[in-house]
Amino acid sequence: MWFFVHPVDVLFFRDNRTFAAGEGYRAQGANLPGPGTVAGALRSQILARELPAIGAGFDDFVRQQGGENPELLQELIQNIGSAVPGDVGRLRLKGPFLCRNHSACLGDDAKEGNGSLEVYLPTPRNLMGKARASGEDPTMYAEPAGPLRVAHRPWGFQQNGIGGTDLGEGGLTGDGFNSAAQKELGAAAVQSPVLAPLWVCSEEGAGEITGTMLAARHVRRFLTGTVSAGGYRHDADPVLIPLEATEPLYGKEARTGIQLQRGSRTAATGMLYTAEYLRMHDEKMGFLVHIEMAGDAKVHERYQPESGFIPLGGEQRAAWMEPVQLSGTDAGDELPGINDADTVRSVQRRLCEPDAGGRFFLYLLSPAIFRQGWLPDAIDRQTHRLRDGMEALAVRWEEGHGGSTMDGGSQAESFPALNGLDLRLVAAAVDKPQPLGGWSLAQQKPKPLRWAVPAGSIYYFEVIDRQTGAPVALSPVQAEAIMKLFYFQRTLQMASSAHSAQAHIGYGLTLVGCWNYVEPAL
């Protein structure tokens, strides 16, 4: 079920920078909440409702024993997870997505969407160009970059054997992942093989675009509009993707405060500070999140969140959460404009067209955590191919879907159409690493810092024959299998053995798009 989370005040989401007396006076704020923040808020709401009902306290929950009904406490832990980091039980999330709900009104449960929901996704990292707007129109335009063919790569892009990428000789340094992430990864931080550089053909030049988001109504154009016969050419009209400026949607608001002394509650000397809060610039703005409990219908019904206020982020700032019925969709996680049937069919048809050539990219809708840093753990660093073939990914997909249907059955299925095929990573558009932390209520200390590939990052793949390594054009059945495996799925995150549990709360969610090589004039 989809829920709309509507902030009723400013929200506070701190980043990883220190904020302690004598070390800093400004609490830097992150832009938007991540999956872990929302999952924590939901679990807190369920605990506040369920623990008193079974005669247990929070300390009993942390110790995983005690209370008036130990058996009921164990059932609760089995379903929503324990206090052990990473354990979320049967809770399954997708989102949160920034959303404008034109019918938002506190207290009206299960409202019909009727096309009134506007969802915004992170700007794809491969979009480049000069932001342009006409008059007061906030829409900007960008051109997708594409990998260069080998024959068109200038000499400079082959120096140092890194293919012109900015990932550094270690594959994790430079503009990619910093030394802290490399230290965390240890032996995995090894030499990165050659990747194709990305290129745009526009004569107007190209540059990074900031302060924008991709509206759901333009997702299909982005996913399907980057394929043309013969690939991108310097003499062809560029494919422009409309982007929305974030300034009318949300922004940061700095507030000054002073620490109060314990007991007297008077101002402490020299303890002024400034904190950055998230302010929605439109009262209809909020977050859309899909929530379900894996298991039978009784489990789903009992532990489903309720409409009401929830504390979200730092300082327990309030937000109102309520279910929404998305018009024109079937039951499940279907989201209009993103993974509705028409959009999925459009992408699937393009994947098996002759000029698509078995090429597709994965677009991260949420951060992903990989032990190899920017490189998905399913990909071998030396060969850029899948470590264990498509069958291993299918198994991971099945593990993520087994037992998640409302009738208690399993959605686990095989992918026979992909037997004998492999994937080769051709290029990647990855932004700088995103630190993930937080505060552990159970342990009363900061959570361990982890580095994630940020949302919006793009991975370009080519389907090849496992034996010969030759590119394979996808048949309709194979294209359908690729879509099922990756489209609005968390398969890449599930394939990370060290962080697969993070997939359950929404990390590593991807969409599938089409791409072709760029052929510039040199």
Q: Which of 122, 120, 106 is nearest to 335 (CA)?
A: 120
- Tell the residue number behind the tokens 């402490």, with chain if given: 268
pLDDT grade, residue 405 (50/70/90)?
very low
Question: pLDDT-based confidence at 455, cuts 50/70/90?
Answer: very high
pLDDT at 16: 61
Q: What is the pLDDT of residue 185?
A: 38
State the pairing for strand pair 359-364/458-465: antiparallel
The predicted model gives 184-212 an average pLDDT of 64
In 296-441, the DSSP E strands lie at 308-311, 318-325, 359-364, 421-429, 434-436, 439-440
- Listed in sequence order, the residues at least 6 apart from 71 whose beta carbon sits closer than 8 Å to its beta carbon are none
Is residue 288 predicted with pLDDT exceeding 70? yes
Mean pLDDT taken over the chain = 79
CATH 1.10.10 fits 2-118+250-325, yes or no: no
Least confident interval from 74-88, 318-332, 353-367: 318-332
User: Residue 465: in which H helix or E strand, if any?
Assistant: strand 458-465
Helix axes 389-401, 476-486, angle to 10 degrees: 50
* pLDDT(230) > 70: no
Lowest mean pLDDT of 62-71, 152-161, 258-267, name the range: 152-161
**What are the residues whose beta carbons fall under 8 Å from the beta carbon of 264, sequence distance 6 or more?**
none
Angle at 328 between CA 505 and CA 340, to 5 degrees: 50
| pLDDT attached to residue 408 | 37
Q: Where are the domains of the chain?
A: 2-118+250-325, 124-210+212-245+339-519
**Whether the Cβ atoms of residue 504 and residue 93 lie closer than 8 Å to each other:** yes
pTM of the model: 0.85
Instruction: Compute the distance between CA of residue 313 and CA of residue 40 in angstroms, rounded to an integer.
Output: 9
**Environment class of 200 (CB within 10 Å of its CB; exposed 0-12, middle 13-18, buried 19+):** buried
Sign of CA dihedral 500, 506, 512, 513: negative
What residue has token string 């198994």? 395
CB 438 within 8 A of CB 447: yes
Q: Does the pLDDT at position 103 exceed 80?
A: no
Q: What is the dihedral of CA 368, 372, 374, 378, to 10 degrees?
A: -70
Kindly report the number of other CB atoms within 10 A of residue 333's CB atom.
18
Cα distances (angstroms) measured from residue 442 to each of 53, 61, 73, 75, 82: 20, 9, 16, 19, 10
Point out the least confidently predicted range of 25-29, 97-101, 190-194: 190-194
The per-residue pLDDT for range 391-402, each reduced to its tens digit, is 888 888 887 776
For residue 315, give both structure tokens. Answer: 């300082």
For residue 421, is pLDDT > 70?
Answer: yes
What is the C-alpha separation between 279 and 443, in angstroms, rounded? 30
For the record, the structure tokens of 40 come out as 């924590």
Report DSSP state, residue 321.
Answer: E
pLDDT at 30: 62
Partnered with residue 307 across adjacent β-strands are none
Report residue 88's pLDDT band, with 50, 70 and 90 as the boundaries: confident
**Least confident piece of the model among 200-209, 381-390, 513-522:** 200-209
> What radius of gyration do the chain's Cα atoms show?
24
The percentage of residues in the chain with a pLDDT greater than 90, rounded to a whole number, is 30
Q: Choose the weakest-confidence range: 362-371, 453-462, 468-477, 493-502.
A: 493-502
pLDDT tens per residue, range 488-521? 999 999 888 778 888 999 999 999 999 988 876 6
Of 171-175, 215-219, 486-490, the one with minimum mean pLDDT is 171-175
What is the pLDDT at residue 509? 96
Helices 476-486, 341-351: crossing angle, 10 deg rounding: 130
CA angle 56, 57, 61 (to 5 degrees): 90
Spatial CA neighbour of 148 closest among 234, 225, 237, 236: 234
Segment 173-190 mean pLDDT: 38
Q: List strand residue ranges (DSSP E) for 212-371, in order.
A: 212-215, 232-233, 241-245, 250-260, 267-280, 285-293, 308-311, 318-325, 359-364
Q: If pLDDT is split at 50, 70 and 90, which confidence band does 175 have?
A: very low
Any idea which of 138-142, 146-150, 166-170 has the lowest mean pLDDT? 166-170
185 alpha carbon, distance to own chain's centre: 21
State the pLDDT at residue 318: 87
